Structures are given as structure tokens and as C-alpha cells.
Amino acid sequence: MNIRNKFLPVTAASAVILGAAISAHADPTVGLQVLNVGNYSVYQSVGTYAGSPISSGYIGIYTFAVTGSSSPSTTGLTVGETIYSICLSPLGDIPSGSSSYTVESFAEANAGLNPALWAWNHSVSTPQYWGIENADYLWRAVANAGQSGLGSVGAAVGSAAKKDAGAALALAIYTVLYDSTGYGTYAETAGNYKPSLSAGLETTDYTADLALLSPGVVTANLQTGSALVPAVTSGQDLIYFNPNGGKLNPPVPEPTTMVAGVLLALPFGASTLRILRKKNIA
């Protein structure tokens, strides 16, 4: 099955672009090639953003091959490795072939791409990146960090159910990215993004995924890290769990106590393939 991006044609120059990006950018850079979009995804309507419908596409978890990596010891990504991911941009597109991504911290990647409106507290002095941290928690909790498919959700179900589970997780991630009101909290009914859910397993899984969130559990499991940001501005940023990264468990300060902490700057990476609005070519 060939995949074609209706906005961004892929050329043989992609490898040259990847090499140039790796050498020119200070941040770590990786190359990813789309391998599969059908095992853990459903082709359907994505939902609405700011009241406007988003065109249909593949929604769920996608598989990539790592074709380039400027700093494997930092990102945990090595050439030839296969990773799973969900996109973080419901309005963007992912080209087929090998594309270049820059590994950026949550602070650098905030507030996302297409649309660039991840939810956060808009504080420069004490920022709280609610949207991406809630999405990150769901990704790790439901998909086992995406390294082996659908973790606990897909462990005891067939392939058809895994497709619904993958789509449900992607839709839940979009919901918290754009409609979070704090760590572990969100307001879907009054938010910017509203999912388009299919009846049955997809709706059940979506509800179960969001039920995993709570202020206490997310705050106790904040993850320093990064998003994979594409070189093309019309593309999709991705989510990726970095095995070389570390987990941040900040203490909860007493009302009269000031708690100082050091945030470990650990690359988190993006391995989330967003909705591929591409056409199949026979």
C-alpha cells in the first residue's frame, strides 16, 4: 500500500534534507519513515476544532522506521529501529518516505503545531504544560510508551479491537492537548477540540483512557522530555517515549514550605503519528 500526502509530495531529496538538518541544527535530529498506518488505526472523521470539522484521516497509532539519528545516546533512537507513535496535530499532514524531525523539549515545542494551541497556564515564570503532560501520561499508561504496540489495551484483544483502541487513544490525546484545564483535568464540553467517536469499542476505550487521568497521578508522574517537531511547518509533531530519559516526580509543597527542585532535561521524543490525511494508491 502506497501512501501519498495530498499537500507535501515526497522526493528523493528527502535523504539530503535529512542529512543537512542533522548537521545544521543544534538540537538532536532524527529521520522517520512511515511503515504502517493500519494496524492500530481507523479511517474516520477526526472531530471538530473551534467549531469547524476536520477532514477524515487515519486516526491511531502508527509505525515508523528510524532512518537517521544525530544523537542516539541522547534520544534513544537508533537507525534501523522501529517505533510507534501518535501525531499531535489533528490539522497537519505527514509525508510518506523519510522525513526529518527535531527533538525539542516540551517548553520548546509548546504550544504545538496545526493548531498551535496546546493547553497550558500561560505563565512564563512558572509554566505548567498541561496539554502535553496529560497526553504524555496517557501515551505511557495506555500504549506502554508505544514501543510494542498497544500495551495493556491491546494485550487480550484481536486486531479489530486494537484498531478501535488506537483510534480512541489518539482522540483522547487530542482532547487533553487542547482542552486541559490543569494536570489531570480537562473540559471537553467547553473546549476547542471535540472528537468524532464511533459507537462501541472506540467510545468505550476513549472513556476508559480519559478516566486514567487525575491531578494527583499526573502531577506525581510528570515526564521531562521532548516532542518530535517536523522540518515542514505544515506537518505533524509526534510523541515518543525516550528510554534514556527520566521521570520527574515533584514533591507537593506544604502551604508554608517552599520546595525547590531540579528538572532533569531529558529528551522525551515524539513518536505520535497524527492523522495521515493521505490517499491510498493502488
> What was the pLDDT predicted at 224?
66
Question: Which tens digits make up the pLDDT trace of 156-211?
Answer: 345 568 888 889 999 999 999 999 999 999 997 667 899 999 888 889 889 988 99
**C-alpha radius of gyration, the chain, whole number:** 18
Q: In this predicted structure, what is the pLDDT of residue 149?
A: 42
pLDDT given at position 19: 38
So what's the pLDDT on residue 248? 35
Amino acid 244: pLDDT: 64
Please answer whether residues 229 and 270 qualify as being in contact, where contact means their C-beta atoms are separated by less than 8 angstroms.
yes
The more confidently predicted of residues 238 and 265 is 238
* Residues 63 and 36: beta-carbon distance below 8 Å: yes
pLDDT of residue 61: 87
pLDDT surpasses 60 at 269: no
Rounded distance, CA 137 to CA 124, Å? Answer: 23
Residues 6+ apart with CB under 8 A from 159: 39
Mean pLDDT of 38-56: 89
pLDDT of residue 267: 29
Quick check: 273 and 34 in contact, CB under 8 A? yes
Q: How large is the average pLDDT for residues 86-97?
A: 85
Burial code (b: 16+ CB inside 10 Å, e: under 16) for 191-223 equals bbbbbebbeebbeebbeebbeebeeeebbbbbb
Domain assignments of the chain as residue spans, ordered by start:
2-281
User: pTM (2 decimals)?
Assistant: 0.76
Identify which of 108, 98, 63 has the alpha carbon closest to the alpha carbon of residue 83.
Answer: 63
Position with higher pLDDT, 233 vs 242: 233
Q: Which three cell numbers stand for residue 76?
A: 534513544
pLDDT per residue over 148-165, tens digit each?
A: 444 444 443 455 688 888
